[in-house]
Amino acid sequence: MSQLLDGAELTALQTMRIGFSHSPELRRGLGLTAFFALLGTAGRVVVPIAVQQTLDRGLHGPQGVDVGFVTLMGLASAAAIVLTAASSYLMTSRLFVAAESGLATLRTKAFRHVHDLPVLTQNTERRGALVSRVTSDVDQVSQFLVFGGMIGVISVGQLLVATLVMLVYSWQLTIVVWLCFAPLFISLRYFQRRLTAAYAEVRRQIGVMLSAISEPVVGAAVVRTHAIEKRTQGRIDATIAAWEKSQISAQSLTAFSFSLGGISAGLANAGVIAVGIWLGFADQITAGQVLAFAFLVSLFVGPVQMGTQVLTDAQNALAGWRRVLGILETPADLVDAGPEGVDLPAGPLDVAFVDVDFAYPTGPTVLHGVTEKIAAGSRVAVVGETGSGKTTFAKLLTRLMDPVSGTVCLDGVDVRQVTHECLRRRVVLVPQEGFLFDDTLLANVRYGKLDATAADVVAAAGELGLGDWLDGLPDGLDTKVGQRGESLSTGERQLVALLRAHIAAPDLLVLDEATSAVDPELEMRIGRALESLMRGRTSVTIAHRMSTAEAADEVIVFDRGEVVQRGRHGDLVGQGGVYARLYASWEAQRSAS
């Protein structure tokens, strides 16, 4: 059973390689995009060159002011500027198409992969963190690719082109400019590291703050019944203050590193003029060329100012990309057998556990050597104390997890060989917390059978003895259940989950404490209804309440990960041992008065 990978072990190059292979759209037409980028960047030196040419050849040329030359140069420059703009447009829009398409694909793949992971891996993750991997982490990558990445590429290109042009004019002045900017380039890494740390702290503080802010909302009732409004507010205020502090210190770093670019530019301009004049005395350079340098220096400022920001964004985007890829790199243990898989023959299913062991990762074994058969069409109850392994048994049976060793068979076929489609259609588990989607009651029940009509659902409710309850709801089947079904009571949510499973008409129904929050009378009524509905099918029921065991064809008793007893209720009660003890405690409870 795998922990979800965070991709931290991937190097930057590996991340990009794997990232590109998952989103082939990113590579499509990259050559052409790069070509347009080159054109677009090269166009940036048009103005400095135009200024120089005008000064040196148009104004101070051998024949004095040369209008024809200036006109020609102006038109050529205008054409170059338009061409540059067109190239920039093509480059940017192509980048957007590639990045958005590639990342939409990546997002969807990662989302699907989360659902293919074993339930255990899903549960160990914080939901919010999992959601952010397919939402904000992907957004971060795409934002970077189209903005940061673009700025980065253009910046480097701009520096290179500016340097080349400078070299053509004067290698000595080029050295002066580079010397003025060198300390800054060297310090970029340092600032980037500090910025990365500062923004990581900001994100951490945001998480803490949001958690505190959720308390008066999610825990509104508790806060009021215990009158701890002041304390709650104090906790929130403290997290807000801590967030503000982290934001301000990150902001100071940004402001400081940003301001350095301008200082270097000032130094460079001064150096260019001073050294330029000196070179001019040696007739190594013209006045126009010196001025062109002043314009070229301004091409350095942008890249340097944006440099730390781009590097920091790159670092964050890479981390986000790693986290998304980490999902895809986590092996989905529950692999669908696919086209080679087996479709189980129609009719009731029998179940066989052969020497099944199960352990949670880095945890002790929770099931050992379980070998049990459940006959097709029988009704079996599974009992045991908390932690005895009965829920694990149910999860292995429905292939929410795979055993560490041994096999689980349905109709003699290893569940790993059965196609997912067949397995999920024929075998249904109703968990204790029947999750509801924020939709109508009808839509939630239909989840069990997509083509069920409202009449089917009403009929199914009638069969389970839930007709009265359904009639009593203000909007009947159109009742909105609210987020996670919170508009309904806990017991009512269980009723919907049960209805959903019933309408799916499985051949093997597994109930895990599915009616624990329903009143006893209704629970028993549902139990009796299921009994007749499941006739000819197999059912496995896990229950605290021993009444279920009493009514079952057979009882399987778990204790510390092993099956310790099995048989009919009547026989087991007399045998002593675990079952008799469980039963006695139940008896004591229900007859207590």
Q: Which stretch binds other proteins (CB under 8 A): 212-220, 309-317, 345-353, 534-542?
A: 212-220
- Own/partner long-range contacts of 472-478 (Cβ < 8 Å, ≥24 apart): 473/441, 476/441, 477/440, 477/441, 477/442, 477/445, 478/440, 478/441, 478/442
Q: Which of 32, 65, 168, 375 binds other proteins (CB under 8 A)?
A: 65
- Asked whether 374 and 351 are in contact (CB, 8 A), the reply is yes
85 binds other proteins (CB under 8 A): yes
Site for other proteins in 129-168 (CB under 8 A): 130-131, 134-136, 139, 142, 146
Closest distance of CB 497 from other proteins, Å: 8
74 binds other proteins (CB under 8 A): yes
Furthest-apart CA atoms within the chain: distance in Å: 122
- Asked whether 16 and 253 are in contact (CB, 8 A), the reply is no
* Number of chain positions touching other proteins (CB under 8 A): 181
523 binds other proteins (CB under 8 A): yes
Rounded alpha-carbon distances, angstroms, from residue 476 to 433, 441, 445, 473: 22, 8, 13, 5
Site for other proteins in 95-124 (CB under 8 A): 95-97, 100-101, 103-104, 107-108, 111-112, 114-116, 119, 122
9 binds other proteins (CB under 8 A): no
Per-position x/- string for 286-305, each x denoting binding to other proteins as judged by CB under 8 A, each - no binding: xx--xx--xx--x-------
476 binds other proteins (CB under 8 A): no
392 binds other proteins (CB under 8 A): no
Structure-token pair, residue 338: 């696919």
Buried b (16+ CB within 10 A) or exposed e, 2-26: eebbbbeebeeeebeebbeebbebb
Q: Which is nearer to other proteins, 165 or 518 (CB)?
A: 518
Q: Which of 229, 355, 471, 478 binds other proteins (CB under 8 A)?
A: 229
Q: Which of 35, 437, 453, 575 binds other proteins (CB under 8 A)?
A: 437
Q: Which of 13, 127, 346, 364 binds other proteins (CB under 8 A)?
A: 127
- Least Cα distance to 390 among 185, 582, 212 occurs for 582
The residues, ordered by sequence, that sit 6+ positions from 330 with a Cβ below 8 Å of its Cβ are 2, 3, 4, 5, 113, 117, 121
332 binds other proteins (CB under 8 A): no
User: SS3 letters for 153-167?
Assistant: HHHHHHHHHHHHHHH
Closest distance of CB 165 from other proteins, Å: 16
Give the sheet arrangement for strand 562-567, strand by strand: 427-430, 508-512, 538-542, 379-383, 554-559, 562-567
Site for other proteins in 356-385 (CB under 8 A): 385
82 binds other proteins (CB under 8 A): yes
- Separation CA 17–CA 372 (nearest Å): 47
- Separation CA 503–CA 481 (nearest Å): 19
Q: Which is nearer to other proteins, 273 or 359 (CB)?
A: 273
Site for other proteins in 477-506 (CB under 8 A): 482-484, 489-492, 495, 497, 500, 504
- Least Cα distance to 326 among 119, 99, 109 occurs for 109
Q: Which is nearer to other proteins, 9 or 190 (CB)?
A: 190
Closest distance of CB 18 from other proteins, Å: 20
Location of structure tokens 């139990």: 527
Site for other proteins in 540-579 (CB under 8 A): 544-545, 547, 550-551, 569-570
Q: Which is nearer to other proteins, 171 or 435 (CB)?
A: 435
Q: Which of 160, 167, 179, 218 binds other proteins (CB under 8 A)?
A: 218
Q: Which of 18, 39, 81, 359 binds other proteins (CB under 8 A)?
A: 81
Structure-token pair, residue 24: 């082939």
Q: Which is nearer to other proteins, 25 or 369 (CB)?
A: 25
Q: Which of 2, 232, 284, 407 binds other proteins (CB under 8 A)?
A: 232
Rounded alpha-carbon distances, angstroms, from residue 7 to 18, 120, 128, 143, 321: 11, 19, 18, 20, 8
331 binds other proteins (CB under 8 A): no
Q: Which stretch binds other proteins (CB under 8 A): 11-19, 190-198, 365-373, 511-519?
A: 511-519
Torsion sign, CA atoms 290, 295, 296, 301 = positive
Q: Which of 217, 340, 346, 362 binds other proteins (CB under 8 A)?
A: 217
Q: Which is nearer to other proteins, 1 or 582 (CB)?
A: 582
Q: What is the CA radius of gyration of the chain?
A: 35
Site for other proteins in 19-58 (CB under 8 A): 40, 46-47, 50-51, 54-55, 58
Location of structure tokens 């590579």: 27
* Beta-bridge partner residues of 414: 409
338 binds other proteins (CB under 8 A): no
